[in-house]
C-alpha cells in the first residue's frame, strides 16, 4: 500500500520549555499528520544524549531522553509548580517589537540551558515523588534487565562529574562485584532518580504513541547501528565489543571519505565482536529489536551496510581516512531475528558506498532501502536515486537529517546540475522547488515517501538539522508555534490524494 509521512525529531517540536517534548504540541502534530492524510511520523533516536547532543551517540540503547518529558504533566501531578517551570531559564528568547513584556522563543534548542534548567526541574520533581508508588515499582522490576545497569551508570557518571567510564577507578570500570555493591548502597537515591526519569519517559511516550496509532499514524523509529563508547551498554557488556583488557576499543566505527566529508566520518563507537554475537545466537540484537518494536511501529536501522561489511578505523586515528573493511554478520543475524520475532517492518539505511555483497544482503533480507532525491541530480550520470529507476520496495525522501534543506541545497549545485533539476522536474523556475520535490517523491512508485518538516515548510539552510563531522552546531532546529497550519495540511492532503497515498 502506498503511504507517506513526515520526518520531525521530538526535539524539534515547538513549546515554551526549551526543547520539544511529549506534551500538547506533540499531540497537535499528530493531529496535523492526520489532517494532511499522512500515515507515518518518522522521528530521530530517542536515547539520552551526551557530549555533542547527537541522538546517534546515546548513553544507552534502551533508555529514553529525559529532555522529552512533558513538564505540564508534572505540574498536574503537583510534582512541580507552574511558577517553577515558567521562571526556569530553558530557552533563548527575544523581545517582540512594540510589546512591553511579550517575548518570542527562538527556533533553536539551547542545549546548555536545557541541561542545567530542565534537569534541575526534574530533580525537584523527583524529590516530591513517592518512590513507593505501585506503578513505578512495577516499572523498575519489569525493566530491570537494562534499567539497573543504566541507572547505576548514570549515577556513577554524576559522581565522576561526567567523566567517561574509561577514566573511573579500575574496580568500577571493570565492574568488580564489591565496588558495584558499595556504589549501589552509596548512590541509592541517585539511582532512584534515574529510574524515575525513565518511568515518566516511557509512560508519556507510550501514551503519545497510543494516541498516534488510534489516529492511524504509525511511528517510524530510528536506531543507530552502534552504541556510544561511553554508554551503559559498553560498560555493562564489554564482551559484546572489540575492546582490550583495559576497556579501550581496538578499533572504532565510521565511514570512509564520501559525499559528506573528504576525510571520512570518525564516529568513535566501539565495534561489535560479531563472533561472540554469533555464538550467543545474536541474543543481544534480538532483545534490542524486541525493545524497539515496543517503542515504534517500524524501525529504520542506520548504516545498514555495516551488517555486510563494517569500516574498522584503528583506535586513536584522528580521521577515518586509513580504515579498512571487515566482514559483518550478514543475513544470518536477520534470519535468527525473524525466527524469534517474526517478520518485522524494518527500513535499511543503505546510503553511501555500496558493493555487490551489500545489494545481495538487501535482496536476501527484503527490507526497503532509501532513495534520497538530493542525491539524484548529477547531470553527468544516470543513478539509482532518480525516480524512474525506483522499484516499489523503497522509501523515498526529499532529504534526511544529514542533508541540507531543499531550499538550501539547490544553490550549492553546479550550473549544469541546476539545469538538470529543472529539466527532470519539468519546471521553469525554482520558487516552489520544495513542493516540486515533494510532488516528485509522492508521484514515484516507491511504496513510502517521507518529507522532512523543514522541506514541507520550504525553509533555508538555517533550518538544517545536522552537518556530518561537525559538532556544536547541530540538532538544534525547532518549529515555531503556528507554522503547521490548516492551509499547509490541506495542500499536503490534496497532493497525497492525487498520488494515491491517503
Q: Which amino acids are annotated catalytic?
A: 302, 349, 402
User: Running DSSP on this structure, what letter comes out for residue 444?
Assistant: S
Bridge partners, 4 (sequence order): 449
Residue 280: C-alpha distances to residues 38, 123, 126, 200 (Å): 40, 39, 39, 33
Q: For residues 142 and 81, what is the distance between their CA atoms, to the nearest angstrom? A: 30
Residue 340: C-alpha distances to residues 30, 283, 303, 332 (Å): 32, 10, 23, 13
Residue 360: C-alpha distances to residues 272, 294, 324, 350, 367 (Å): 22, 29, 21, 12, 11
Which DSSP string do the residues of 175-237 spell out, in sequence order? T-HHHHHHHHHHTHHHHHHHHHHHHHHHHHHHHHHHHHHHTTPEEEEEE-SS--SSSHHHHH-
User: Running DSSP on this structure, what letter comes out for residue 319?
Assistant: S
All three cell numbers of 480: 515555531
Three-class secondary structure of residue 105 per DSSP: strand
Q: For residues 1 and 492, what is the distance between their CA atoms, to the nearest angstrom? A: 18
Give the residue among 44, 84, 88 at the shortest CA–CA distance from 68: 44
Bridge partners, 312 (sequence order): 324
Bridge partners, 370 (sequence order): 395
- H or E segment to which residue 455 belongs: helix 453-457
CB 168 within 8 A of CB 156: yes
Amino acid at each position: 500500500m502506498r503511504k507517506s509521512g513526515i520526518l520531525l525529531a521530538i526535539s524539534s517540536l515547538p513549546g515554551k520549555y526549551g526543547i520539544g517534548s511529549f506534551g500538547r504540541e506533540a499531540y497537535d502534530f499528530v493531529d496535523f499528520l492526520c489532517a494532511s492524510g499522512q500515515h507515518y511520523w518518522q522521528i530521530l533516536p530517542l536515547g539520552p544524549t551526551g557530549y555533542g547532543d547527537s541522538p546517534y551517540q546515546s548513553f544507552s540503547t534502551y533508555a529514553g531522553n529525559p529532555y522529552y518529558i512533558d513538564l505540564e504533566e508534572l505540574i498536574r501531578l503537583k510534582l512541580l509548580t507552574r511558577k517553577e517551570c515558567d521562571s526556569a531559564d530553558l530557552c533563548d528568547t527575544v523581545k517582540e517589537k512594540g510589546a512591553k513584556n511579550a517575548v518570542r522563543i527562538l527556533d533553536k534548542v539551547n542545549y546548555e540551558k536545557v541541561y542545567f534548567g530542565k534537569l534541575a526541574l526534574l530533580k525537584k520533581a523527583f524529590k516530591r515523588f513517592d518512590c513507593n508508588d505501585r506503578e513505578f515499582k512495577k516499572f523498575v522490576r519489569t525493566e530491570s534487565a537494562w534499567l539497573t545497569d543504566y541507572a547505576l551508570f548514570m549515577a556513577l557518571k554524576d559522581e565522576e562529574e561526567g567523566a567517561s567510564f574509561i577514566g573511573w577507578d579500575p574496580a568500577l570500570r571493570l565492574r568488580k562485584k564489591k565496588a558495584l555493591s558499595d556504589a549501589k548502597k552509596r548512590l541509592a537515591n541517585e539511582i532512584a532518580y534515574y529510574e524515575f526519569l525513565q518511568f515518566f519517559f516511557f509512560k508519556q511516550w507510550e501514551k503519545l504513541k497510543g494516541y498516534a496509532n488510534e489516529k492511524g499514524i504509525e511511528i517510524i523509529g530510528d536506531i543507530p547501528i552502534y552504541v556510544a563508547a561511553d554508554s551503559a551498554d559498553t560498560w555493562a557488556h564489554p564482551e559484546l565489543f572489540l575492546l582490550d583488557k583495559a576497556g579501550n576499543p581496538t578499533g572504532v566505527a565510521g565511514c570512509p571519505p564520501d559525499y559528506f566529508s573528504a576525510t571520512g566520518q570518525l564516529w568513535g563507537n566501539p565495534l561489535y565482536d560479531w563472533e561472540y554475537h554469533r555464538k550467543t545466537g545474536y541474543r543481544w540484537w534480538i532483545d534490542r529489536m524486541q525493545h524497539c518494536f515496543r517503542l515504534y511501529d517500524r524501525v529504520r536501522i542506520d548504516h545498514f551496510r555495516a551488517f555486510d561489511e563494517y569500516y574498522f578505523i584503528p583506535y586513536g586515528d584522528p580521521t577515518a581516512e586509513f580504515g579498512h573493511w571487515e566482514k559483518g554478520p550478514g543475513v544470518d543475524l536477520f534470519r535468527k531475528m525473524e525466527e524469534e520475532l517474526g517478520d518485522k517492518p524494518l527500513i535499511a539505511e543503505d546510503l553511501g558506498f555500496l558493493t555487490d555483497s551489500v545489494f545481495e544482503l538487501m535482496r536476501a533480507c527484503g527490507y526497503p532501502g532509501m532513495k534520497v532525491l538530493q542525491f539524484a541530480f548529477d547531470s553527468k550520470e544516470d543513478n539509482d536515486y532518480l525516480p524512474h529507476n525506483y522499484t516499489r520496495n523503497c522509501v523515498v525522501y526529499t532529504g534526511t537529517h544529514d542533508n541540507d534543506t531543499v531550499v538550501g541545497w539547490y544553490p550549492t549545485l553546479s550550473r549544469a546540475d541546476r539545469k538538470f533539476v529543472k529539466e527532470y522536474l519539468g519546471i521553469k523556475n525554482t520558487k516552489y522547488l520544495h513542493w516540486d520535490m515533494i510532488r516528485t517523491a509522492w508521484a514515484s512508485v516507491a511504496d513510502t515517501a517521507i518529507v522532512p518538516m523543514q522541506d514541507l515548510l520550504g525553509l533555508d539552510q538555517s533550518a538544517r538539522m545536522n552537518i556530518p563531522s561537525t559538532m556544536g552546531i547541530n540538532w538544534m532546529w525547532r518549529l515555531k508555534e503556528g507554522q503547521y497550519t490548516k492551509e499547509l495540511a490541506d495542500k499536503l492532503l490534496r497532493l497525497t490524494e492525487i498520488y494515491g497515498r491517503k
